[in-house]
Amino acid sequence: MNHVIFRILIVVFLTYCVTGHASAKPVCVNATGESAIIAGDVPSAKVEAINRAKWAAVEEVSGVDVKSKTIVEDSALLDDLITTQTRGVVNSFKVLKEQRQGDSIKTLINVCIETVNATAAMSSLSLNTAISVYLPARRLYADGQQEYDDENIVVQNIIGKLAEQGFSVRDLAESQSFNMKDIDMALKNGDQVKVRSLVYRFLSSSVLIGKIEPTISKTKGSNAGYGISMPFNAVTARLTYRLMTRDTSGKMVVLAAGSEEAKGLASSTEDAYAEALKNVAEKFIPIIVAKINSRLSELSNKVNVRIEGIKTPSETFTLREQLQKVSWVTKVEEVGLGEFAVSFPENSIYLASGMTQKGFKILSFNRDSIKARRP
C-alpha cells in the first residue's frame, strides 16, 4: 500500500513539474539593435548590436514604458548593463537581418525571452527616487456624475514639487491601459501583480494612488446662521490615498495611507473647488515628501568607489567634493587615498552613470564597488 501511494505521489510530482515547465514557455519577439563601428572593429559592433536588440526584446516582454537608455546615458555603461542583466533572461535568438549603414551596424533578431526572469531583470533597475502618481479628482457635477479629472491641481502641484527636489515622476494618467476602477479592485483584492505592474512599467519603486471627492458645504445665498446669507460657495475636497513601495523581496507594501481634506471659498462652486484642491495640495505635499525621503534614508547603500592614480590627501579631498555633487549621493566617507564609501539609495549602475556625467571615466563596476579614473 505504501509503495502504491509513493508511486502516485511521484507521478503527481512529475506531472506538476512538466506542466509547470510548459506553462512558463519563453516569449519570442523580433527586435532591432544598432551599434557604432569604432576604429573599424566590425565584429565588436555586430556583437553590441545583437546585445542591444536582446535588451530591446527584454524591455518589450517585461512591458516597460521607460527605456533604460533614457536613464543610463553612457553607452559603455549601458552595454555593460545589458551584458550582466540578460544572463538567464535570453533563452535563444536568431539573426534575421544585418545591415551596415555608414559607420554603424543595424541588426534584426528573433529572440526568445524567459518572462519571469525578464521582469526580475527590469525590476532590479527600478529607481527608488522615481514615483508613479495617479490621483484623479471627481468633477463637480450637480447631478452626481462619476467623471474624474486626471490632470487636476493636486496632481500638478505634487509632480512639480517632487520634480523640483530631483525625483523622477510619472503621471499614470498618461497611460490608457488601466482605470481607477481597476486599481480600486486590485487594492481591495490585494492583487500584487496588478499593483507591481504599475511600478515596473515605469521603472519606479513607489506608486502614489488615490482619488479626490468634492462636497458642496454651503451655497452662495444660503442661510449661514443669525440671519446672515452665505456670501460665497464653500466646497470641501477630500483626498484618500495610498503610498506603496517595494520591500527587499519585491513585494508591494503600504508606506503611508490616509486622507486629507481642505475647504475652498469662492463666488462659483468651480472656483471654490479649485481653491479646495490647492489647499489640499499644500497640506498633503509635505507629508508625502517626508515619507519618501525617510524611505530613501533607509534604503541608502554604501558603494566602494576607488579612483585610480590618486597620491595625495588634497586630491582625495577634491574628489570627495566632486562625488558629493552626484545626484542622490547622501554621504561620502574617505577610506584611503582615492578610495571612498559612498552612500547611495539606488542600484550602483545609476551612481556610475551619475559619475560619468561629472566627467569620471568608469573602468569597472558591480553592485558593491566602482573603479574609475578622475575627470
- What would the pLDDT profile of 77-101 be if each residue is shown by its tens digit? 777 777 777 778 888 999 999 999 8
Q: Is beta strand 168-171 parallel, antiparallel or unpaired with respect to 127-134?
A: parallel
Residue 216 belongs to domain spanning: 127-295
- Is residue 50 within 8 A of residue 109, CB to CB? The reply is yes
* CATH number of the domain encompassing residue 236: 3.40.50.10070
Residues 255 and 363 placed together within one structural domain of the fold: no
What is the separation, in whole angstroms, between the first and last Cα of the chain?
A: 76
The CATH number of the domain holding residue 101 is 3.30.1660.40
Of 47-51, 59-63, 278-282, 354-358, the one with minimum mean pLDDT is 59-63
Rg (CA), the chain: 27
pLDDT reading at 70 higher than 90: no
Cα separation, 200 vs 193, in Å, equals 10
For the ranges 4-8, 167-171, 189-193, the lowest mean pLDDT is seen at 4-8
CA distance 21 to 19: 5
Cβ count within 10 A of residue 40: 8
CB neighbour list of residue 116: distance below 8 Å, 6 or more residues apart? 24
Boundary (domain end) residue, out of 108, 123, 138: 123
Estimate to the nearest angstrom the gap between the alpha carbon of 161 and the chain centroid.
Answer: 17
State the Cα–Cα distance between residues 283 and 196, nearest whole angstrom: 28
Nearest to 140, CA basis, from 210, 213, 241, 211 = 213
Phi first, then psi, for residue 47 (nearest 5°) are -60, -45
**Measured in whole angstroms, how far is the alpha carbon of residue 138 from the centre of its chain?**
26
Report the SS3 class of residue 335.
Answer: strand
Query: Domains in the chain: how many in total?
Result: 3
Is the pLDDT confidence value at 370 over 60? yes
Q: Tell me the three cell numbers of residue 66.
A: 521607460
Q: How far is CA 20 from the centre of its chain?
A: 30
Residue found by looking up cell 519606479 in the block? 204
Q: Please, are residues 307 and 319 in contact by the beta-carbon 8 Å criterion?
A: yes
Q: Does pLDDT of 203 surpass 80?
A: no
- Give the pLDDT confidence score for residue 206 in this predicted structure: 86
Which sign does the torsion angle of CA 58, 367, 192, 67 carry? negative
Question: 132 and 115, same structural domain?
Answer: no
- In this prediction, residue 19 carries a pLDDT of 38
Q: Could you tell me the three cell numbers for 70?
A: 533614457
- When mean pLDDT is compared over 57-61, 84-88, 137-141, the highest value belongs to 57-61
The answer to whether position 141 is within a domain reads: yes
How confident is the model at residue 213, as a pLDDT? 92
Residue 72 per-residue DSSP state? -
In this prediction, residues 178-191 reach a mean pLDDT of: 63
Dist CA 356 CA 372 (whole Å): 9
- Stated pTM of the model: 0.72
H or E element: which one contains 339? strand 339-344
At 23, is the pLDDT very low, low, confident or very high (cuts 50, 70, 90)?
very low
Tell me: do 173 and 67 sit in the same domain: no
State the average pLDDT over residues 283-302.
88
Residue 8, domain member (yes or no): no
Q: What average pLDDT does the chain have?
A: 81
- The pLDDT assigned to 178 comes to 56
Please determine, for residue 9, whether its predicted confidence score (pLDDT) is greater than 50.
Answer: no
| Span of 186-195, 241-250, 285-294 with lowest mean pLDDT | 186-195
Cβ atoms of 78 and 362 closer than 8 Å: no
DSSP 203-219: TEEEEEEEEEEEEEEE-
CB 130 within 8 A of CB 205: yes
The residue among 194 and 1 whose pLDDT is bigger is 194
Q: Which of 295, 328, 354 corresponds to the end of one domain?
A: 295
**pLDDT score at 142:** 58
- Give the distance, in angstroms, between the CA of residue 181 and the centroid of all CA atoms in the same chain: 22
Once rounded to an integer, what is the mean pLDDT over residues 26-30? 92
Q: How far is CA 219 from CA 29, 40, 224, in A?
A: 59, 76, 9
| pLDDT over 90 (residue 337) | yes
Do 109 and 137 lie in one domain? The reply is: no
Report if residue 109 sits inside a domain.
Answer: yes
**Same domain (yes/no): 112, 141:** no
Quickly state the pLDDT bin for 188 (edges 50, 70, 90).
Answer: low
Whether residues 131 and 232 share a domain: the answer is yes
What would the mean pLDDT of 336-365 be, rounded to a whole number? Answer: 91
- Are 338 and 307 spatial neighbours (Cβ–Cβ below 8 Å)? yes
| C-alpha cell, 270 | 468651480
Q: Among 295, 329, 347, identify where a domain stops.
A: 295
Residue 35, pLDDT above cutoff 50 = yes
Averaged pLDDT, 153-160: 91
Q: Do 167 and 307 belong together in one domain?
A: no
Is 4 part of a structural domain of the chain?
A: no
User: Which residue would you say has higher pLDDT here, 149 or 20?
Assistant: 149
Exposed e or buried b per residue across 80-104, where buried means at least 16 C-beta atoms within 10 angstroms of its C-beta: bbbeebbeebbeebeeeeeeeeeee
50 in any annotated domain: yes
